[in-house]
Amino acid sequence: MIASHDRILTTHVGSLPRNETLSELLVRREAGESYDRAQLNAEMDKAVRHVVAKQKDAGIDIGNDGEQQRVGFQTYVPQRMSGFGGESKRRRGREFEEFPELTQYLMRRFPSVSKQQNAPQAQAELHYRDTAAIDAEIARFTRIAGEGKSFAETFMTAPSPGIIASTMLNAHYPTHEAYLAAIAREMSNEYRAIHEAGLVLQIDAPDLAMDRTMFYRDKSDAEFVKAVELHVAMINKGIAGIPREWVRLHVCYGNWEGPHIHDVALEKILPALYQAEVGALSIEFSNPRHAHEYAALKRAPFPKDMILIPGVVESTSNFVEHPQVVARRIEEAVAAIGDRERVIASTDCGFGTFTRREWVIEPVVWLKLKSIRDGADIASARLWGRSSAA
């Protein structure tokens, strides 16, 4: 994993908006309905080429395929793993029950989305069938990413064992820990495939923060921290054998526009997050409920062997952050850990977390990514003491 040696590098969390034709095909595939495979392959080629070009045009240094080949960041897993069936009854966050108006608003805005609350459940021993699907994703992305100007580095995402477990609920294993261990064992096939292809592996783990208000909503903060430690241990199990500098971990509070008044404080979970055997932590800092939490990185000092990937633009608003605002946020992140070379500027979360559930219109997404680049250039000039950024 490269560091910001002479300027602040830029990246994003992973998912980017999908076009409607691709969205329809992905939803049909997830639902087990008939679809034209040749058309889907052609649309994925087109979509990946589009988002790769847009990232490069915006000045993103570390790019990916925008998750154009998946229906959602974690709900695609049952398509690749046997043992799932039936339907889970995933709990919603506390605020969705406290504010029914919020649920009604979401249903009006997103009437048709991929399986989030009604995903399959684990009904038998899990088995990752083969790596054909992830190999195809990797091949498409690496081929297209290699066209023209190159990224400084490339990454690909995969969900954590914990978020899979709290989305596709357990109806087979004797304990939650046993279920997590089975997922970690099987998902290691996908994790290794990404690494062996020469891509940085990003583990998407909203379970480490968001699930305080969902799966673990009836527990105390102390009990949740213990759960986070277990979930991190299972991530470590899944990525065993992959050098930590080839893995980055994304933690978030749930990518929706809502009050977020029940979110756990970052300071409470940081020591558990530091137990992850990864080279970088990607954390929300532009979310209005968490923009103040850089101070937590001083009270629980950031590990010297990790890179911080702070969110410097928000992912559920069509406001485009001014580059000066982005620069200020980057400088605050650098001040919090005391090292300009171990900060890479990013987004809070993805822009296309689930198919047909995009908060930000596509043209604004590219403007936000460009603002990250422009803000990083401003911050770089100040941090490296130059009249202009390199």
pLDDT of residue 34: 95
Q: Mean pLDDT across the chain, nearest whole number?
A: 94
Question: In the structure, what pLDDT confidence band is assigned to residue 257 with cuts at 50, 70 and 90?
Answer: confident
pLDDT of residue 387: 62
Q: Is-contact 329 285, C-beta < 8 A?
A: yes
pLDDT of residue 355: 78
Q: Is-contact 83 365, C-beta < 8 A?
A: no
Q: What is the pLDDT of residues 265-317, one digit of tens each?
A: 999 999 999 999 999 999 999 999 999 999 999 999 999 999 999 999 999 99
Q: Is-contact 380 3, C-beta < 8 A?
A: no
pLDDT mean over 128-150 = 97
pLDDT of residue 264: 96
Q: Residue 306 corresponds to which tokens in the numbers above? A: 């990790």
pTM of the model: 0.94
List of residues 6+ apart from 171 with CB closer than 8 A:
86, 121, 122, 123
Q: What is the pLDDT of residues 6-61, one digit of tens each?
A: 999 999 999 999 999 999 999 999 888 999 999 999 999 999 999 999 999 999 99
The yes-or-no verdict on residue 325 having pLDDT over 90 is: yes
pLDDT of residue 389: 43
Lowest mean pLDDT across 135-144, 232-241, 346-355, 380-389: 380-389
- The share of the chain scoring above pLDDT 70, in percent, equals 97
- Percentages helix, strand, coil for the chain (3-state, rounded to 5) are 45, 15, 40
Q: Which domains does the chain have, with CATH numbers?
A: 9-383 (3.20.20.210)
pLDDT of residue 89: 87
Q: Is-contact 122 30, C-beta < 8 A?
A: no
